[in-house]
C-alpha cells in the first residue's frame, strides 16, 4: 500500500508505437501464458483468496444471532448459544486469517519469481533487437519496459488482481447472506449502490484517461528534467538556463495539473461510495422496521444488514481505483508483450548456425543495400570482397555511409538487400558467440562503463589478469600513459568514461579491443581524438599485434589510407573507388580530391592567406 | 558494473533520531503549505468525526427506532425519520470530509512535489560543472524524480492519519458514553491495532526501502547497458550483460519476496483483529445487557465502531512507515539543495563590440580528487582578432583549458580575462554572448535541428540558421532530412552520422556571432576538405575585421597553419609558443607531435 501511489506515478511513458489494440482479456491470457509460474497453483490461490473473505462475512451473522437470541431485548437470553456462536466465529476468523496468509505468500513468491524471469527475458530481447531499433527508440522508454512496466504488472498480480477477486467474492457472499435473510432489504441495498455501479465504467473511463495524461506528462517531464543534467555543459556555456528552466517548469506544471485532475476523480468516486452506504443504511433501517413490525423480519436481521452494507462500501470505494490500476497493468503488459513479440531483427541462429573457420578471415559484401527504418537508402549496390589478411582503409565524406558499412560488417544490423559473408559464411547464419569471437568493432564514440579501468578492459577479455592488462598497454605503446595513472587499473573512468580525456577514452577502447584478440578488426574513427604521435604508435603496435589478421579502418586522417593494402572510397552511399593508395591516386576522382586536400594541409608552410 | 547503491542501511539503526528528523520534515512541509494543509486536516477531522457518528447513529437507531418498534409492534415514525436523516446527513458530511481530505490532501502533496522539483532543477542549473562531474546522471535524475516524490509521499496518508487520531478520541468518548466495560475492549483493541501497525511498518519500511533502492539498481543497470549497446554488441557481451541484469533483478526479487512475507503476516492479522474485537464486545455485551448495565444499542454501536474504524487506523501505520523512507529520500534531495558553490556571476558587461582579446594570467586548475594539477601556471595572450592554435598530446589539458574560457570550471588560482576584464565579473549572459565553445564531444538535444542550432534564441531567424549551416557544409544534408529544420533528431542526435552531429554543434556556435570562438578539436570527424573550407571562411571573416578571435585545439597542420600563434601544451604547462614555422624548428617534441604523419611517410 505504501508504494502503490509512487509506483503508479512513475509509470512508463506510453511508447510511440503502441501495439495494435488487443483486448484486455487477450493480453491477460497471453501475459499469463508468458509467465507460467503465476498459473501454477493459481486455482488454489484463488480459492484461498475467496476463503479469506469469509471471516468478515461471518461477523454479521453472529451479530444477528446474538441479537435475536436475547441481546435484543435482554429477556430470555440464551448465553450458551451466543458463546457457542462466538466461539465458532472465532475459529472461522482465525482460519480465514490463515487462508489470507497462505494466499499472500503464494502470490508474492510466485509472481515475483515469474516477473523477475519476465524482466530478464525482456532485457535480453532488447539486446537482441538491432542497434537501429535501439537508436530510434529512446533509451528511457526501453528501460521502462524492464522496470516500471513490470512493476505495474506486479502491482496488479499482487494487489489489484487479488482485490478484485476478494471484493467480488465479499460482495457475492454478502449478497447471498442478505438475500437469505430478506430479499426486500437486499433489493434496497442493491438499488442504493446501483447508480454507483452503473456510473463506474464512466468513472473508470475518465480516470483511465486522466492517468494516461499523467503517464504522458511524467514521460515528458523526465525528458525535460534530463536536459539540465545531461546537457549541463551546453546549457552553461550558452547561458540558456532561463530557457531550460522554463521548459522544465512547464513540464513539472503539466504533470502537476494532470495529477490533480486524476486525484479529484478519485476523491469524488471515493466519497460517493460513502454516500451510497449512508443511503443504504437509512433505507435498510426504515424498510426493515416497517417489515419487522409487520412480522416478517427479526430485529437482529435489520442490524446485521447495517454490518453487511459495510461490506459493500469498501469495495465500492476502491472500485474505480482498482479498475484503473487494472487498466494500467494491462497497458503495461501489452507493451511488454509487444516488445517480446517484436521479432529480433538481427536473429542469433544459435546452435543451428554455421561457425566461422578458425583461420585468417576474408569478408564479402554481395550486392548490399541498406536503409535505416523509414529512411532513404544510405548504402546502395555495395559489392566488394576483402581478402584474408588484407588491411583495408575506408574513406569518404561525412555521412557517406562508412559507419553504416562497418555496422553491417559486424552484424549490428542486417542489410535490406544482399548479404554480408565472413569466411564464406553468411553472417546471418553465424552464432553470435562465434561471430563476436572473430570480429570486433571499435565504435566511433569511445563508450566506457562507469567502473574501473580494470573492469572496462575485462570487457574485452573476461577474467584477464592484471598482468595481462598491463602487458596490453605496453604492447600498444601506451606504457607511459598507463604509468601516469596514480590509481592504475583501479582508476574510475566516470560515467561514459567522462573522467578521462576524449583521446584517453579512445585509447582504452582500443586496448579493450586488442585484448579481445579478434581475427577481424573493424576500427571506426577509433583514434580520431588521439594525438598523431600516439595514434601512429598505437595503430602500428596494433598492426604488429594483429599481424596476419584482417582489418578495416575508417579514418579521416588519410595517413591510414596511405599505409593500407587497399582503400575503399564511399560517396553518398556508394562504393565509388577501390584499389591501392597509389592506384587511386592515379585515378583521381573522389579519392584524389580528398587526398589532395589532406596533403595540402599536411604541407602548409605558414599562415594561409584568405 | 558499479551501480549507485545508496544503501538504506542507515534506516535500521537510530530509530529515534530518524523519527525526530521525520517529524521535522513533516513540519517543513506543513509550514510550506499551511493553508491547504489546514483545509485538508479540517476535512479529515470531519471525516473522522462522521465515521464515529455513523456508528453512533446506528446505536441510536437501535435503541430509539428498532427496539421500540419491534417491542411495541408499531413503527416509531418520528424517530425513524430522524434516523433516516441522520444516516444520510452523516454520510453526506463524511463525503465532504473525504473530498477535503483526499483532494486537498493530494493538492498539498503534489504542490510540495512540484515545488521541490523546481528547486532541485534550479540547483542543477546553478551548481558548477565540477559538481555535475561528481554526480552520476542517473542519480541526479532520480533525485529530481523518485526522491522528491518519496520525500513527500508521507503527506498522502498524513491528513487521514490526523483525522484518525481525532476519530479514535471521539470513538473512546462515544464508547465511554455507551458502556464502561465495553470501552475497555476498545482500549485493548485500538492500542493493539495501533501498536501492531507501528510494529509492522517499522519492520517493513527498511525492507521496503531496500527493495526500492534495488529497484533503482535494476534500472541503472538497464540504462547503462542500453546506453552502451553498441559496445555490448560489438564485443559480444549480451550474455554477460544479461547475467549482470539477472543478478540485479534477482536481488530485487528476493527483497520483494521478503517484503511480501511480512505483508502476508500482518495484513490478515490486521483484518482479523477488529472482527475479534466485535466478538469480544458481543460476548461481554451479553452479560452487560443481562445485568441491565447496558442497552442493546450500546453493544451494537461499539461493535459497529470496530468495523468502521479498523481500516482508517492503518493510516497511522502508513505515516510512520513512510517516515524513514521520506527521511532517507530527503537526505538525497537535501544534498542537492544544500550543495553550495553555485556559480557566481558578476554584474559587469563587456564593453565594445567585435573581437576581444583573451588573457590567461597564472592559471592553475586541479580536478577534484586529483592529486596534481592538470594545468599549472598558464600565462597566455591571444590578441584581438587573431587565431591561436592549442596543440598538445592526448591528456595534456587542452579541453580543460577551453572549459575555463566559458567558465565551465574556474581556475583555482589565477585569472581569465577578456579585454582585461576578469570573466568572473561578467554577467552570465554577457559572457555567453561573448564566448562560444564548440566542445570536443558533441551534445545534441532531443529536439529539432532548428532548436539545436538556435537553442531557443529568438534573435536567430531561419536565414541566419541556414547561413551557418552553409558555412559548416551542413546545408545539403539538412535539406535532405524529411522535415528540414523541423526534423527531430532523437536522443543525443543518434539519427545523424558523427560528422553531421559535429557540424550542427559548429553551426550552433556560429549563429551567435561570438567575439571569441573556441573550438576544441571540433572538426575531428569532418573530412579534411570540409574543415579547410570552414576554417578559411572564418579566417576570411577575421581578416576583414568582422570575425571573432579564435582559439582552436587541433592537430591538423591546415588548422595550425591558419593560426597566428601556436601554443604548445605539455602536461598542463605551456612548453613553447610562437608561429608554427618557428616551433617546428625550435622544439623537437612539437615537431614529433605535429609532423608525425610526415615523418612516418618519409620513413616508409
Ligand atoms: N572529470 C575529470 N576528472 C578527473 N580527471 C579528469 C577529468 N577530465 C579530464 N581529466 C584528466 O585531466 C587530464 C587532461 O584532460 P583534458 O580533457 O583536458 O585533456 P586533452 O588535452 O583535452 O586530451 P585529448 O587530446 O584527449 O582531448 C587528463 O589526464 C584526464 O584524464
Ligand atoms: N540511426 C540512424 N537513423 C537514421 N539515419 C541514420 C542513422 N544513422 C545514420 N544515419 C544516416 O545515414 C547516413 C550515413 O551515416 P553514417 O553514419 O554511415 O555516415 P559516415 O560515413 O560514418 O559519416 P561520418 O564520417 O560523419 O561518421 C547519414 O546520412 C546519416 O544521417
Ligand atoms: Mg561515421
Ligand atoms: Mg580534449
**Domain layout of chain A by residue ranges:** 23-341, 363-447+518-602
For residues A263 and A320, give the distance between their C-alpha atoms in angstroms, rounded to a whole number.
12
Ligand nearest to the CA of B524: 2
Under DSSP, the state recorded for A452 is B
The partner residue sitting opposite B561, judged by closest CB among A253, A290, A606, is A606
Q: B137-165 burial, b if ≥16 CB within 10 A, otherwise e?
A: bbbbbbbbbbbbbbbbbbbbbbbbbbbbb
Positive/negative CA dihedral, B145, B148, B154, B157: negative
Q: Has residue A20 got a pLDDT over 90?
A: no
Placement of cell 511480501 in the chain: B260
How many degrees, rounded to 5, is the angle at CA B430 between CA B427 and CA B436? 125
Q: Is B399 in the pocket of ligand 1 (CB under 6 A)?
A: yes
- ipTM score of complex: 0.82
The pLDDT assigned to B539 comes to 64
The distance of B418 to chain A (nearest Cα, Å) reads 15
- Contact at CB, A486 and B371, closer than 8 angstroms: yes
Q: Is A400 in the pocket of ligand 2 (CB under 6 A)?
A: yes
Q: Is B392 in the pocket of ligand 1 (CB under 6 A)?
A: yes
Q: Which long-range contacts (CB under 8 A, 24 or more apart) does A583-590 make?
A: A590/A396, A590/A397
Q: A288 contacts in B (CB within 8 Å)?
A: 66
Number of other CB atoms surrounding residue A457 within 10 Å: 24
How many degrees, rounded to 5, is the angle at CA A160 between CA A158 and CA A162? 65
Under DSSP, the state recorded for A156 is I
For residues B241 and B229, give the distance between their C-alpha atoms in angstroms, rounded to a whole number.
10
For residues B1 and B240, give the distance between their C-alpha atoms in angstroms, rounded to a whole number.
11
Alpha carbon B90 to its chain's center: 44
What's the whole-number average pLDDT of chain B?
84
> Measuring CA to CA, which residue among A380, A360, A367 is closest to residue A422?
A360
Each residue's pLDDT tens digit, B355-388: 889 999 999 999 887 888 999 999 999 988 888 9
Q: A504 contacts in B (CB within 8 Å)?
A: 394-395
Under DSSP, the state recorded for A608 is P
The C-alpha cell at A316 is 465500492
The widest CA-to-CA distance across chain B, in whole angstroms, is 124
Positive/negative CA dihedral, A232, A235, A236, A238: positive
Q: Has residue B60 got a pLDDT over 80?
A: yes
The C-alpha cell at A264 is 479529484
Closest residue, chain B, to A261 (C-alpha): B103
> Measuring CA to CA, which residue among A521, A525, A575, A512 is closest to residue A552?
A521
As a residue count, chain A comes to: 610
The distance of B476 to chain A (nearest Cα, Å) reads 11
Ligand nearest to the CA of B409: 1
Calculate mean pLDDT across residues A376-384. Answer: 89
State phi, psi for A294 to the nearest 5 degrees: -70, -10
The C-alpha cell at A227 is 536536459
Torsion of CA A371, A375, A376, A380, to 10 degrees: -10
The alpha carbon of A65 and the centre of ligand 1 are apart by a number of angstroms equal to: 83
Nearest CA to ligand 2 atom 22: A403
The alpha carbon of A406 and the centre of ligand 2 are apart by a number of angstroms equal to: 11
The widest CA-to-CA distance across chain A, in whole angstroms, is 122
More confident residue, B96 or B343: B96
Q: Has residue B318 got a pLDDT over 80?
A: no
Q: Has residue B284 got a pLDDT over 90?
A: no
The partner residue sitting opposite A447, judged by closest CB among B230, B432, B439, is B230
CATH among 3.40.50.1580, 3.40.50.1370, 3.30.450.20, 3.40.50.300 for B358-443+515-602: 3.40.50.300
- Where residue B525 falls among pLDDT bands split at 50, 70, 90? low
In contact, A291 and A182? CB cutoff 8 Å: yes
> Quick check: helix, strand or coil at residue A268?
helix
Alpha carbon A333 to its chain's center: 12
Work out the end-to-end distance of chain A between its first and last CA atoms, rounded to an integer number of angstroms. 72
How many degrees, rounded to 5, is the angle at CA B125 between CA B123 and CA B131? 70
Starting at the earlier edge strand, list the strands of the sheet with B435-438: B435-438, B516-520, B549-553, B387-392, B565-570, B573-578
Beta bridge partners of A441: A522
Q: Is B530 in the pocket of ligand 2 (CB under 6 A)?
A: no
More confident residue, A437 or B379: B379
Each residue's pLDDT tens digit, A161-195: 778 888 888 888 888 888 888 888 889 888 888 88
Nearest CA to ligand 1 atom 26: A503
- Contact at CB, A559 and B600, closer than 8 angstroms: yes
Nearest CA to ligand 2 atom 16: A401
Torsion of CA A482, A485, A488, A494, to 10 degrees: -110
Beta bridge partners of A578: A568
- Contact at CB, A306 and B272, closer than 8 angstroms: no
More confident residue, A25 or A111: A111
The distance of A275 to chain B (nearest Cα, Å) reads 5
Number of other CB atoms surrounding residue B96 within 10 Å: 17
Q: Is A373 in the pocket of ligand 2 (CB under 6 A)?
A: no
State phi, psi for B402 to the nearest 5 degrees: -65, -30
> Quick check: helix, strand or coil at residue B198?
helix
In contact, A85 and B278? CB cutoff 8 Å: no
The ranges assigned to domains in chain B are: 18-337, 358-443+515-602
Q: Is A577 in the pocket of ligand 2 (CB under 6 A)?
A: no
The C-alpha cell at B593 is 607531435
Each residue's pLDDT tens digit, A88-138: 888 988 998 999 899 889 988 999 999 999 999 999 988 888 765 556 566
Say whether domain B18-337 belongs to CATH 1.20.1560.10: yes
Each residue's pLDDT tens digit, B10-19: 444 456 777 7
Starting at the earlier edge strand, list the strands of the sheet with A550-554: A439-442, A520-524, A550-554, A391-396, A566-571, A574-579
The partner residue sitting opposite B593, judged by closest CB among A108, A444, A533, is A533
A574: left (phi over 0), alpha (psi -120 to 50) or beta: beta
The pLDDT assigned to B528 comes to 60
For residues A578 and A519, give the distance between their C-alpha atoms in angstroms, rounded to a whole number.
23
Q: Is A152 in the pocket of ligand 2 (CB under 6 A)?
A: no
In contact, A371 and A417? CB cutoff 8 Å: no
Q: Is A378 in the pocket of ligand 2 (CB under 6 A)?
A: yes
Report DSSP letters for B115-155, one per residue.
Answer: HHHHHHHHHHHHS-HHHHHHS-HHHHHHIIIIIHHHHHGGG
Share of residues in chain B with pLDDT > 70 (%): 92
Report the CATH superfamily, name and number, of domain A363-447+518-602. Answer: P-loop containing nucleotide triphosphate hydrolases (3.40.50.300)
> Quick check: helix, strand or coil at residue B17?
helix
Nearest CA to ligand 1 atom 31: A500
The alpha carbon of A131 and the centre of ligand 3 are apart by a number of angstroms equal to: 14
For residues B171 and B305, give the distance between their C-alpha atoms in angstroms, rounded to a whole number.
7
Q: A45-81 burial, b if ≥16 CB within 10 A, otherwise e?
A: bbebbbbbbbbbbbbbbbbbbbbbbbbbebeebbeee
Q: Is A407 in the pocket of ligand 2 (CB under 6 A)?
A: no
The alpha carbon of B121 and the centre of ligand 3 are apart by a number of angstroms equal to: 35
More confident residue, A557 or A263: A263
Burial class (CB in 10 A: 0-12, 13-18, 19+), B578: middle
In contact, A324 and A391? CB cutoff 8 Å: no
The pLDDT assigned to A10 comes to 33
Nearest CA to ligand 2 atom 6: B495
In contact, A455 and A449? CB cutoff 8 Å: yes
Placement of cell 457457542 in the chain: A84
Beta bridge partners of A382: A368
The pLDDT assigned to B215 comes to 81
Least confident of A337-341, A454-458, A579-583, B454-458: B454-458
The bridge status of strand A566-571 relative to strand A574-579 is: antiparallel
In contact, B67 and A72? CB cutoff 8 Å: yes
Distances (CA, A) of A166 to A57, A317, B84: 12, 14, 31
Q: B226 contacts in A (CB within 8 Å)?
A: 126, 134, 139, 142-143
The alpha carbon of B532 and the centre of ligand 3 are apart by a number of angstroms equal to: 19
The partner residue sitting opposite A93, judged by closest CB among B75, B276, B296, is B276
The pLDDT assigned to A427 comes to 87
Q: Is B525 in the pocket of ligand 2 (CB under 6 A)?
A: yes
Share of residues in chain A with pLDDT > 90 (%): 9
More confident residue, B43 or B142: B43
In terms of pTM, does the model score above 0.90? Answer: no
Alpha carbon B503 to its chain's center: 31
Q: Has residue B106 got a pLDDT over 80?
A: yes
Calculate mean pLDDT across residues B389-417. Answer: 91
> Quick check: helix, strand or coil at residue B438?
strand
Q: B257 contacts in A (CB within 8 Å)?
A: 108-109, 112
Size of interface A-B (CB pairs under 8 A): 574
Calculate mean pLDDT across residues A449-464. Answer: 86
Number of other CB atoms surrounding residue A268 within 10 Å: 17
Each residue's pLDDT tens digit, A45-55: 888 888 887 77
Each residue's pLDDT tens digit, B426-437: 988 888 889 999
The pLDDT assigned to A608 comes to 37
The C-alpha cell at B564 is 597566428
CATH among 3.40.50.2300, 1.20.1560.10, 1.10.357.10, 3.40.190.10 for A23-341: 1.20.1560.10
The C-alpha cell at B110 is 503534489
Each residue's pLDDT tens digit, A275-317: 888 888 888 888 888 888 887 788 888 888 888 888 877 787 7
Q: B98 contacts in A (CB within 8 Å)?
A: 267, 270-271, 274
Each residue's pLDDT tens digit, A323-365: 878 888 888 888 889 888 888 777 778 788 888 888 888 889 9
The alpha carbon of B394 and the centre of ligand 1 are apart by a number of angstroms equal to: 8
In contact, A461 and A468? CB cutoff 8 Å: yes
For residues A225 and A276, give the distance between their C-alpha atoms in angstroms, rounded to a whole number.
43
Ligand nearest to the CA of A503: 1
Q: Where are the alpha helices (DSSP H) in B62-104?
A: 67-72, 77-99
Ligand nearest to the CA of B392: 1
Nearest CA to ligand 1 atom 17: A501
The C-alpha cell at B213 is 533502492
Amino acid at each position: 500500500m505504501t508504494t502503490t501511489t509512487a509506483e503508479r506515478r512513475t509509470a512508463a511513458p506510453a511508447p510511440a508505437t503502441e501495439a495494435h489494440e488487443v483486448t484486455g482479456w487477450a493480453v491477460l491470457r497471453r501475459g499469463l501464458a508468458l509467465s507460467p509460474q503465476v498459473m501454477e497453483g493459481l486455482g488454489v490461490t484463488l480459492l484461498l483468496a475467496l476463503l479469506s473473505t469469509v471471516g468478515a462475512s461471518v461477523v454479521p451473522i453472529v451479530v444477528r444471532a446474538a441479537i435475536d437470541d436475547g441481546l435484543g431485548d435482554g429477556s430470555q437470553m440464551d448465553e450458551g448459544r451466543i458463546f457457542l456462536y462466538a466461539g465458532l466465529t472465532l475459529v472461522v476468523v482465525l482460519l480465514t486469517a490463515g487462508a489470507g496468509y497462505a494466499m499472500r505468500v503464494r502470490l508474492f513468491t510466485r509472481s515475483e519469481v515469474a516477473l523477475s524471469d519476465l524482466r530478464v527475458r525482456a532485457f535480453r530481447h532488447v539486446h537482441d533487437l538491432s542497434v537501429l531499433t535501439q537508436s530510434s527508440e529512446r533509451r528511457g522508454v526501453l528501460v521502462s519496459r524492464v522496470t516500471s512496466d513490470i512493476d505495474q504488472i506486479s502491482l496488479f498480480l499482487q494487489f489489484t488482481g487479488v482485490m478484485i477477486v476478494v471484493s467480488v467474492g465479499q460482495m457475492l457472499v454478502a449478497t447471498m447472506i442478505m438475500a437469505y435473510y430478506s430479499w426486500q432489504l437486499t433489493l434496497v441495498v442493491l438499488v442504493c449502490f446501483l447508480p454507483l455501479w452503473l456510473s463506474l465504467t464512466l468513472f473508470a473511463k475518465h480516470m483511465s484517461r486522466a492517468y494516461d495524461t499523467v503517464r504522458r506528462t511524467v514521460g515528458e517531464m523526465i525528458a525535460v528534467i534530463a536536459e539540465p543534467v545531461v546537457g549541463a555543459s551546453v546549457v552553461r556555456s550558452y547561458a540558456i538556463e532561463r530557457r531550460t528552466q522554463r521548459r522544465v517548469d512547464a513540464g513539472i506544471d503539466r504533470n502537476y495539473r494532470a495529477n490533480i485532475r486524476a486525484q479529484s476523480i478519485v476523491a469524488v468516486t471515493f466519497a460517493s461510495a460513502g454516500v451510497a452506504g449512508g443511503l443504504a443504511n437509512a433505507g435498510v433501517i426504515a424498510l426493515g422496521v416497517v417489515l419487522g413490525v409487520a412480522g416478517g423480519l427479526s430485529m437482529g436481521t435489520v442490524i446485521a444488514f447495517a454490518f453487511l452494507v459495510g461490506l459493500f462500501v469498501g469495495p465500492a470505494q476502491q472500485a474505480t481505483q482498482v479498475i484503473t490500476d487494472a487498466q494500467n497493468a494491462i497497458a503495461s503488459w501489452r507493451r511488454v508483450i509487444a516488445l517480446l513479440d517484436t521479432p529480433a531483427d538481427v536473429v542469433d541462429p544459435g546452435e543451428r548456425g554455421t561457425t566461422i573457420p578458425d583461420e585468417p578471415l576474408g569478408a564479402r559484401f554481395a550486392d548490399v543495400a541498406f536503409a535505416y527504418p523509414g529512411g532513404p537508402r544510405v548504402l546502395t549496390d555495395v559489392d566488394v570482397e576483402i581478402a584474408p589478411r588484407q588491411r583495408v582503409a575506408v574513406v569518404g565524406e561525412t555521412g557517406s555511409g562508412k559507419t553504416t558499412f562497418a555496422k553491417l560488417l559486424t552484424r549490428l544490423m542486417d542489410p535490406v538487400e544482399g548479404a554480408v559473408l565472413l569466411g564464406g559464411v553468411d553472417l546471418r547464419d553465424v552464432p553470435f558467440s562465434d561471430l563476436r569471437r572473430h570480429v570486433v568493432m571499435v565504435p566511433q564514440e569511445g563508450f566506457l562503463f562507469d567502473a574501473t579501468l580494470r573492469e572496462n578492459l575485462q570487457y574485452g577479455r573476461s577474467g584477464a589478469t592484471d598482468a595481462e592488462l598491463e602487458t596490453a598497454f605496453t604492447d600498444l605503446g601506451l606504457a607511459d600513459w598507463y604509468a601516469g595513472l596514480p590509481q592504475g587499473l583501479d582508476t574510475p573512468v566516470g560515467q561514459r568514461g567522462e573522467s578521462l580525456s576524449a583521446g584517453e577514452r579512445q585509447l582504452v577502447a582500443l586496448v579493450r579491443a586488442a585484448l579481445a584478440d579478434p581475427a577481424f578488426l573493424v576500427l571506426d574513427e577509433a583514434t580520431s581524438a588521439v594525438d598523431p604521435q600516439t595514434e601512429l604508435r598505437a595503430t602500428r603496435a596494433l598492426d604488429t599485434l594483429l599481424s596476419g589478421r584482417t582489418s578495416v579502418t575508417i579514418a579521416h586522417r588519410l595517413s591510414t589510407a596511405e599505409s593500407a593494402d587497399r582503400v575503399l572510397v564511399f560517396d553518398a552511399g556508394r562504393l565509388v573507388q577501390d584499389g591501392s593508395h597509389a592506384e587511386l591516386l592515379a585515378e583521381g576522382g573522389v579519392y584524389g580530391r580528398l587526398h589532395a586536400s589532406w596533403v595540402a594541409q599536411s604541407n602548409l608552410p605558414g599562415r594561409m592567406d584568405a | 558494473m558499479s551501480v549507485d547503491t545508496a544503501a538504506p542501511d542507515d534506516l535500521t539503526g537510530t530509530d529515534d533520531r530518524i523519527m525526530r528528523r521525520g517529524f521535522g520534515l513533516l513540519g517543513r512541509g506543513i509550514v510550506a503549505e499551511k493553508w491547504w494543509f489546514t483545509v485538508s486536516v479540517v476535512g479529515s477531522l470531519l471525516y473522522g468525526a462522521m465515521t464515529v457518528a455513523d456508528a453512533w447513529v446506528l446505536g441510536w437507531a437501535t435503541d430509539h427506532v428498532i427496539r421500540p418498534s419491534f417491542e411495541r409492534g408499531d413503527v416509531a415514525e418520528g424517530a425513524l425519520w430522524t434516523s433516516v436523516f441522520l444516516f444520510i446527513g452523516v454520510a453526506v458530511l463524511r463525503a465532504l470530509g473525504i473530498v477535503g481530505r483526499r483532494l486537498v490532501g493530494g493538492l498539498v502533496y503534489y504542490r510540495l512535489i512540484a515545488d521541490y522539483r523546481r528547486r532541485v532543477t534550479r540547483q542543477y542549473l546553478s551548481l558548477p560543472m565540477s559538481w555535475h562531474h561528481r554526480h552520476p546522471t542517473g542519480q541526479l535524475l532520480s533525485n529530481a524524480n523518485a526522491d522528491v516524490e518519496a520525500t513527500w509521499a508521507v503527506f498522502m496518508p498524513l491528513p487521514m492519519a490526523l483525522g484518525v487520531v481525532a476519530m479514535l478520541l471521539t470513538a473512546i468518548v462515544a464508547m465511554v458514553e455507551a458502556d464502561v466495560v465495553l470501552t475497555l475492549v476498545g482500549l485493548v483493541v485500538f492500542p493493539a491495532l495501533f501498536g501492531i501497525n507501528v510494529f509492522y511498518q517499522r519492520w517493513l519500511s527498511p525492507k521496503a526501502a531496500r527493495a526500492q533502492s534495488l529497484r533503482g539498481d535494476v534500472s541503472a543497470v538497464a540504462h547503462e547497458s542500453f546506453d552502451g549497446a553498441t559496445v555490448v554488441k560489438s564485443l559480444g557481451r549480451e550474455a554477460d550483460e544479461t547475467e549482470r541484469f539477472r543478478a540485479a533483478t534477482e536481488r530485487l526479487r528476493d527483497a520483494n519476496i521478503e517484503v511480501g512475507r511480512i505483508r502476508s503476516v500482518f495484513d490478515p492479522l490486521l483484518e482479523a483483529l477488529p472482527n475479534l474485537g466485535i466478538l469480544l464486545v458481543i460476548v461481554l455485551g451479553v452479560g452487560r445487557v443481562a445485568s441491565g448495565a447496558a442497552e442493546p444499542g450500546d453493544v451494537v454501536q461499539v461493535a459497529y465502531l470496530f468495523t468502521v474504524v479498523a481500516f482508517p487506523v492503518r493510516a497511522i501505520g502508513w505515516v510512520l512507515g513512510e517516515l524513514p523512507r521520506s527521511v532517507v529520500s530527503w537526505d538525497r534531495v537535501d544534498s542537492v539543495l544544500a550543495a553550495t558553490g553555485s556559480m557566481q556571476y558578476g554584474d559587469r558587461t563587456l564593453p565594445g563590440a567585435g573581437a576581444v582579446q583573451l588573457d590567461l594570467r597564472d592559471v592553475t586548475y586541479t580536478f577534484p580528487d586529483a592529486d596534481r594539477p592538470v594545468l599549472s601556471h598558464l600565462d597566455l595572450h591571444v590578441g584581438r582578432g587573431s587565431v591561436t592554435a592549442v596543440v598538445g598530446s592526448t591528456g595534456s589539458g587542452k579541453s580543460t583549458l577551453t572549459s575555463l574560457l566559458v567558465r565551465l570550471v574556474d581556475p583555482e588560482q589565477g585569472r581569465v580575462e577578456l579585454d582585461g576584464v576578469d570573466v568572473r565579473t561578467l554577467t552570465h549572459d554577457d559572457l555567453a554572448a561573448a564566448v562560444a565553445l564548440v566542445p570536443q564531444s558533441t551534445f545534441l538535444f532531443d529536439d529539432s535541428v532548428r532548436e539545436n542550432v538556435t537553442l531557443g534564441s529568438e534573435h536567430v531567424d531561419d536565414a541566419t540558421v541556414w547561413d551557418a549551416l552553409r558555412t559548416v557544409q551542413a546545408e545539403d544534408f539538412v535539406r535532405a532530412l524529411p522535415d528540414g529544420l523541423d526534423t527531430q533528431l532523437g536522443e543525443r542526435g543518434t539519427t545523424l552520422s558523427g560528422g553531421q552531429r559535429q557540424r550542427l554543434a559548429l553551426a550552433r556556435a556560429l549563429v551567435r556571432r561570438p567575439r571569441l570562438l573556441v573550438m576544441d578539436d571540433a572538426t575531428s570527424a569532418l573530412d579534411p576538405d570540409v574543415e579547410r573550407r570552414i576554417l578559411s571562411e572564418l579566417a576570411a571573416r577575421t581578416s576583414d575585421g568582422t570575425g571573432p578571435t579564435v582559439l582552436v585545439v587541433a592537430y591538423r597542420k591546415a588548422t595550425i597553419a591558419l593560426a597566428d600563434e601556436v601554443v604548445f601544451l605539455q602536461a598542463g604547462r605551456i612548453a613553447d609558443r610562437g608561429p608554427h614555422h618557428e616551433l617546428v624548428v625550435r622544439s623537437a617534441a612539437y615537431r614529433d607531435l605535429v609532423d608525425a604523419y610526415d615523418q612516418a611517410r618519409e620513413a616508409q
